[in-house]
Amino acid sequence: MSKTIPVQKNDYIQVEFEDLTHDGAGVAKVDGYPIFVHGALPGEKANIKVIKVNKGFGIGRLAELLERSHFRVDIAKEDSHKYGGCQLQHISYEGQLAFKENQVRQVLTRIGKLEDVKVHPVLGMEHPWHYRNKAQVPVGEKDGKLISGFFKPRSHEIIETDESLIQLPEVDGAIQMVKEICSELGVKAYNEETHKGDLRHIMARYGKETGELMVVMITRTPDFPNKNKIVAEIVKRIPKVKSIVHNINSKRTNVILGDKVKVLWGSEVIYDYIGDVKFAISALSFYQVNPDQTKVLYDKTLEYAGLAGNETVIDAYCGIGTISLFLAQKAKKVYGVEIVQEAIEDAKRNAELNDITNADFAVGKAEEVIPKWYEQGIKADVLVVDPPRKGCDEALLQTIIEMKPHKVVYVSCNPATLARDLRILEDGGYKTLEVQPVDMFPQTTHVECVALIELR
Ligand code: SAH
């Protein structure tokens, strides 16, 4: 039975918002029919224009705000609110943390069917701006000069911006400088439509504790004009630079990095510290982008692991071994597994760098390597997983259920897949005791969580 939709495209209507979607849009209901409006907050009344009418939901645009939420604050930068990933800029930080806590709760109940899990208030930042240690920005051209900024959604158009609200100034500064140098020395921007030109993206990564900077130029072609001169200028004009890397991505794709990496100048890695542990980080390796909150996240992970010193620990999706080495200080033995070869090389180097001798690392898929370890008799007392957004592979979860480590600590950057995977573990004999959200990404809709799970 099809219900009639109570609104039409281009209608102007007055609504009251009652909720936020996971991507930060306000939700209002007209006779039960939900309409999503970006920039609107729960508790607010507004006149909206209906701009799209789908079967199950509509989309509207704010026309006039009639009643403001006490969580609403002025937007510092319109373009980054719209395009730059700072979708929660219009919400006070207190409001952002409340939104994230609520989202975690809702998802655990709705997707995970977990009713009685303790969800703690989100651990937030004291100063929730300019925290990111890494950025990769697309490069375009305007009036014969290189520009950088954000891609306008669903287009090849670049919205020019030279300062971000969430990146560390060293990162922003380096990107601007590399862009200027390349522009002066005649480098052409890559054009997505024609698949011509050279420079696609500029990436910068900064070790906040060491002051070391890496810049990466990502080009379509193996060579680009004035390469040596550009390198010399970067060294001259960016004093903190320790590593200049060239990454070649010749494919027609929106994936940013290619897999060919050449060090043009300096070291192949930069270093950083989290707590007392020193890390080498290379261009293609994953490294958490919010160094201050990473410490908070790893401390919580270590606390949940509750190590006494005689445990065997597996760290699945270990990246450059960050969590593994944190845990190794308190465990008998740690095994880390990760799919990116370069990251495992970093992990081994990082163990050496910190004189940690009780950590072993393997390259491969967690869902293939861990079952093999299990066959060989390697059995974890505590197992940590920190998968990418899509969550754990089902085969890995089944291995965990068979192996029966008494604790699983799940670090997750996506509450929806966390909830899905927790349900599988619950059905396999585990119980989720508590979930601690940590705000790794202020101003954005992203939420990070650590969950403590025990064998029943
Ligand atoms: N624990 C690390 C990295 C977490 S990010 C840290 O805190 O820094 C997730 C990592 O999982 C990435 O390094 C990614 O390369 C890796 N990865 C993705 N799919 C994988 C798989 N199937 N098996 C093992 N590692 C995988």
- Residues 452 and 432: beta-carbon distance below 8 Å: yes
Q: Is 319 in the pocket of ligand 1 (CB under 6 A)?
A: yes
Instruction: Name the nearest CA neighbour of 270 among 200, 202, 353.
Output: 353
Atom of ligand 1 nearest to the CA of 340: 15
Q: Does the beta carbon of 418 lie inside 6 Å of ligand 1?
A: no
Low-confidence winner among 1-10, 58-67, 190-199, 391-400 (lowest mean pLDDT): 1-10
DSSP class of residue 191 equals: B
Binding residues: 288, 317, 338, 386
- Please state, in angstroms and rounded to a whole number, the distance separating the CA atoms of residues 282 and 292: 20
Categorize the per-residue pLDDT at 83 as very low, low, confident or very high, splitting at 50, 70 and 90: confident
Residue 443, ligand 1, Cβ within 6 A = no
Residue 201: strand pairing partners: 138, 218
Position 2 scores a pLDDT of 54
pLDDT at residue 1, rounded to an integer:
43
User: Residue 49: beta bridge partners?
Assistant: 12, 61
Which residues have a Cβ under 8 Å from the Cβ of 221 and sit 6 or more positions away? 198, 248, 250
Q: Is the CB of 266 under 6 A from ligand 1?
A: no
CA-nearest of 336, 404, 332 to 370 is 336
Amino acid identity, position 110: R
| Encoded tokens for 108 | 């655990």
β-bridge mates for residue 29, sequence order: 34
279 lines ligand 1 (CB under 6 A): no
Give the mutation target among 289, 338, 441 for probing the ligand 1 site: most ligand atoms within 8 A of CB.
338
What DSSP assignment string belongs to 15-81?
EEEEEE-TTSEEEEEETTEEEEEET--TT-EEEEEEEEE-SS-EEEEEEEEEE--TTB---S-HHHH
Q: How far apart are the first and last CA of the chain?
A: 45
Determine the Cα–Cα distance for residues 200 and 221; give it in Å rounded to an integer: 10
pLDDT of residue 3: 67
Neighbours of 390 (CB within 10 A): 9
pLDDT of the residue at 356:
98
Residue nearest to atom 3 of ligand 1 (CA): 319
For 202-255, write each residue's pLDDT tens digit.
999 999 999 999 999 999 999 999 999 999 999 999 999 999 999 999 999 989
C-alpha 323 – ligand 1 centre gap (Å): 11
Could you identify the atom of ligand 1 that is nearest to the CA of residue 413?
A: 5
Sequence-separated (6 or more) residues with CB below 8 Å from residue 142: 160
Residue 357 CA, ligand 1 centroid: distance in Å:
22
Q: What is the pLDDT of residues 311-320, one digit of tens each?
A: 999 999 999 9
- Tell me if 36 CB under 6 Å of ligand 1: no
Mean pLDDT score across all residues of the chain: 95
Angle, vertex CA 444, rays to CA 440 and CA 449, nearest 5: 35
Q: Check if 388 has its Cβ closer than 6 Å to any atom of ligand 1.
A: yes
Q: Rounded to the nearest whole angstrom, what is the distance from the C-alpha of residue 341 to the centroid of ligand 1?
A: 11
Q: What is the pLDDT of residues 88-129, one digit of tens each?
A: 999 999 999 999 999 999 999 999 999 889 999 999 999 999
Q: How far does residue 342's CA lie from ligand 1's centre (Å)?
A: 12
Q: Give the CA dihedral 389, 205, 288, 130, nearest 10 degrees.
A: -100
What pLDDT sits at residue 441?
97
Annotated binding site for S-adenosyl-L-methionine: which residue ranges? Answer: 288, 317, 338, 386
Mean pLDDT of 287-301: 97
Determine the Cα angle at 109 with ends 103 and 111, to 5°.
Answer: 90
Based on the residue annotation, tell me whether 413 is a catalytic residue of this protein: yes
Residues with Cβ within 8 Å of residue 341, at least 6 apart in sequence: 363
CA pair distance 393, 415, nearest whole angstrom: 15
Measured from the Cα of 365, ligand 1's closest atom is 23
Which domains occur in the chain, in start order? 12-69 (2.40.50.140), 99-126+290-455 (3.40.50.150), 134-274 (2.40.50.1070)
Task: Decide if pLDDT at 279 tops 70.
Answer: yes
Report yes or no: 284 and 205 within 8 Å, Cβ to Cβ.
no
Ligand 1 neighbourhood includes 40 CB (under 6 angstroms): no
Q: Is 433 in the pocket of ligand 1 (CB under 6 A)?
A: no
Q: Label the pairing between strands 277-282 and 269-274.
A: antiparallel
CA 320 to ligand 1 centroid distance, Å: 9
C-alpha dihedral (347, 352, 356, 359), degrees to nearest 10: 40
Alpha carbon distance 65, 48 (integer Å): 8
> Cα torsion at 19, 132, 222, 191 (round to 10°)?
40
Whose Cα sits closest to atom 16 in ligand 1?
317
**105: nearest Cα among 444, 432, 359:** 432
Tell me the pLDDT tens digit for each residue of 143-184: 999 999 988 888 888 888 877 899 999 999 999 999 999 999
pLDDT of residue 450: 98
Give the rounded distance of the alpha carbon of 187 from its chain centre.
30
> 318 C-alpha to center of ligand 1: Å?
6
CA nearest ligand 1 atom 10, residue: 317
Name the helix (H) or strand (E) containing 138.
strand 134-142
